[in-house]
Structure 1
Amino acid sequence: MKALLCEEPGRLSLVSRPDPVRGEGDVLVRIRHVGICGTDFHIFAGKHPFLQYPRVMGHELSGTVVEAPTGSALKSGQPVYIVPYLSCGRCHACAKGLTNACYNIEVLGVHCDGGMAEYVSVPQQNVVPTGDIALADAAMIEFLAIGAHGIKRGHVAAQDRVLVTGSGPIGMSAIIFAKARGAHVTVMDTRRDRLDFAIERLGADAILLADEAAETNALEQTGGNGFDVVVDATGNAIPMQRGFNFLAHGARYVLLSVVRQDITFADPEFHKREATLYASRNAQPDDFAEVVRQIQAGKVPTRALNTHSGPLTDGVALFSEWAKPEAGVIKAIFEI
């Protein structure tokens, strides 16, 4: 089979590998669409904290069943999406239902080779029928679930004023699911085109330009109070630290981003607000189900999000091109 291999930071190659042999209890899936995530761009740039090279990337996956275990409800040819978090099912976290934070987790395309390839073999519990959702749209379910999980972690409710910092795809998913809960959502970014998109296509209520006046403008927008929930999706340590400045008293701060650096904050300010800090890692089965419900309800503008596509066989050139900010990528999807 063909696979796109990141041999080292900045170097991709299209390689030929043996087709995978279906493992016991696994489903062999013919991959049809692979969404490219910020994680993949970080891997390409050498910035991901949990990775060893070489690596076949790709964890936003949809395809069709080739072969399933005897007695499985999955049938050959059935359209499916893949939950890319391979949890052990035995550790302390898994016993509490926190499969997204499994002690021994392997994420496809990060800890082990992923789906930028023609076939993958994965455990049956990680393969989910798409129903009436198109396969191209199904390749976006995973990144949308990341945002849905973060919004759930922040206990976002209709009365909340929410600030989402960073309006890349993960930030956009947070906007979508905060709005689905009825919250008032403000988006902060340095890019006006992304802010315009958040208003026009995602239903955000207000914007903040991430300039030197952002804190002052945020207080003006919130009557001097700050935001009830701040969700960071910047992937950058400096704005992650700055996000603490926007918290109202009693607020919740959700970190969707993960970076190599330490994150620091002023404890007196944090303490006097009696604020709460949440990490948000991966997603859980109910988050995937929530994404499916919202897509089926027409609440997710999948066509607007999917701005770029092309064949995996052109992946070396396309990936490098799509990694450039001027390419204007929101979500790029490889077709196989």
Structure 2
Amino acid sequence: MKTLTLQEAGNFVYGTLPEPTNIEAHEALVKIHRIGICGTDYHAYRGRQPFFTYPRVLGHELGVEVIAVGEQVNNIKVGDKCSVEPYLNCGHCQPCRNGKSNCCETLQVLGVHTDGGMAEYMKLPANKLYASAKLSYDQLALVETLGIGCHAVNRADIKPADKVLVIGAGPIGLACLQFAKIKGAKVVMLDVNESRLAFAKNTMQADATVMVSDNSADDIKAAFDGDMPTAIFDATGNPSSMMRTFELAAFGGKIIFVGLFQGDLTFFDPLFHRRELTILASRNALPDDFRYIIQLMEEGRIDTNAWITHRIAFDEVASSFERLLQSGNELVKALIAV
């Protein structure tokens, strides 16, 4: 079977490997049909991804077809179209026992810590597959991206009365926007780019948008009718942006860091205490998030068509990746067809 390996930063190499065999009792063999490209993949290509080693087969946003199943598998069957939960957890460490499999102590994320789906076939634990008889491979490949925002919004326990600021209008920020809206909250999007903000407003139904500027705090307050946000989701992974959230949150508010960076985060403690702020980290997603998102998509409450701005064939990835990086604000989500 064909594979595509990121041999080192900036260098994709095509190769071939034998098709996977010897399916274990709890496993499934799947054919890869769609692969979403996300910020993790771009950072890895540029040599800027934390917790990453080369060479690595990328790809963790997957729409797949079940080809074979092990004898103990009963949640899926041959022929099913599935989304993949790419978080391989141990099942027995403390967070796994406490229902926090997304932050397992020895977590292996497909395409990051272990090889992912930029290949024709792969073996997976069957419990990481979520079938849908209604959704397309395109839609199924986007479930994981949506899961990041879904989990973050659930972590923050967003309510209709909340006034939510989302910083960063990339796919993860847009996912936070979408699920905060589903919860009934008023949502304002903050970004440095007008076209991204226009997409958030016109396509993703943000209630208002604000450009980053010296007057951002006043503009945010105006967008919330004189109030400040009770919840701030920072999806930038930019330390300056993340540290500024402490000045933007309402007294008694929450700050949810969805993006991350390699470094130390600092804040002025008296400001933090005076406002009695809550800081939350959000990592990956949980199995129930995948089930919930698939249900919403099947019900037509989430439309992913507008997310897909670029499509490329598997054989064109190596030659097209640099061009994708240069697409700028036209790029929201690229999908690879295998």
Amino acid at match of 1:58: G
- After superposition, what is the alpha-carbon deviation per residue over 1:138-179, rounded to whole angstroms, capped at 9, x for unaligned? 000001000000001111110000000000000110011000
Partner of 2:253: 251
Amino acid at match of 1:86: L
The alpha carbon displacement at 1:293 in A equals 2.3
Partner of 2:100: 98
* 1:194-205 pair list within 5 angstroms: 194-205=196-207
* 1:172-183 pair list within 5 angstroms: 172-183=174-185
Partner of 2:19: 19
Amino acid at match of 2:181: K
* Contact residue 171 and residue 232 of structure 1 kept, 8 A: yes
- After superposition, what is the alpha-carbon deviation per residue over 1:72-99, rounded to whole angstroms, capped at 9, x for unaligned? 3322222111110000001000000100
- After superposition, what is the alpha-carbon deviation per residue over 1:13-63, rounded to whole angstroms, capped at 9, x for unaligned? 222222223442211100000000111111111111111100000000111
TM-score normalised per structure 1: 0.97
Aligned-residue CA RMSD (Å): 1.3
SS at match of 1:49: coil
Partner of 2:35: 34
Q: Identity rate of aligned residues, in percent?
A: 37
SS at match of 1:202: coil
Task: State yes or no: 1:115 paired with 2:122.
Answer: no
Return the alpha-carbon distance in structure 2 between the equivalents of residues 47 and 297 of structure 1.
38
- After superposition, what is the alpha-carbon deviation per residue over 1:206-264, rounded to whole angstroms, capped at 9, x for unaligned? 11101221122223333553100000111222211122221001101111102111111
TM-score normalised per structure 2: 0.96
Return the alpha-carbon distance in structure 2 between the equivalents of residues 222 and 205 of structure 1.
10
Amino acid at match of 1:44: Y
The alpha carbon displacement at 1:4 in A equals 1.5
Amino acid at match of 2:220: A
Task: State yes or no: 1:282 paired with 2:284.
Answer: yes
* Contact residue 22 and residue 121 of structure 1 kept, 8 A: no
Amino acid at match of 2:36: G
- After superposition, what is the alpha-carbon deviation per residue over 1:255-293, rounded to whole angstroms, capped at 9, x for unaligned? 110211111111111111101000000000111122112
Between 1:221-230 and 1:94-103, the stretch displaced more is: 221-230
Partner of 1:8: 8
Partner of 1:318: 320
- After superposition, what is the alpha-carbon deviation per residue over 1:165-196, rounded to whole angstroms, capped at 9, x for unaligned? 00000011001100000000000001111111
Partner of 2:147: 145
* Contact residue 225 and residue 249 of structure 1 kept, 8 A: no
Partner of 1:43: 44
Amino acid at match of 1:286: D
